[in-house]
Amino acid sequence: MDAETFVALLEPMIETLQTIHNPSKPLGTMIIAYAVQHIAKHSVEVGGQNRGPWLWLYVQGHEGTDWPWCAGFVTFLLRQACDTLGRAMPIEGSF
């Protein structure tokens, strides 16, 4: 695989990780905005249940049946929103 192909494959994820520049919004609104951004790029399982690059992102490189991604997804969104707003995480989060 050449560099151009690699970047093309990662482009949806790279775009999803872009900061939403609206730090005046409440935390809940920012979480929803990030969720919409992820879902718009089709952040889905690839290769089976709890598998694929999106899962690696949400559960820090893990995958498989022992790593359900739902809590990791929400924690990831919360972290993105908190980082954007310059706030500490209100909870530790999990996956």
38-88 pLDDT, tens digit each: 999 988 888 888 888 888 899 988 888 888 888 999 999 999 999 999 999
CA dist., res. 76 & res. 95, Å (int): 9
Given its phi and psi angles, is residue 19 left (phi above 0), alpha (psi -120 to 50 degrees) or beta? beta
Three-class DSSP category at 94: coil
Choose between 79 and 10: higher pLDDT: 79
Residue boundaries of the structural domains of the chain = 26-95
Torsion, Cα 10 39 68 63, to 10 degrees, reads -10
CA dist., res. 51 & res. 21, Å (int): 30
pLDDT band (50, 70, 90) for residue 91: very high
| Mean pLDDT across 32-41 | 94
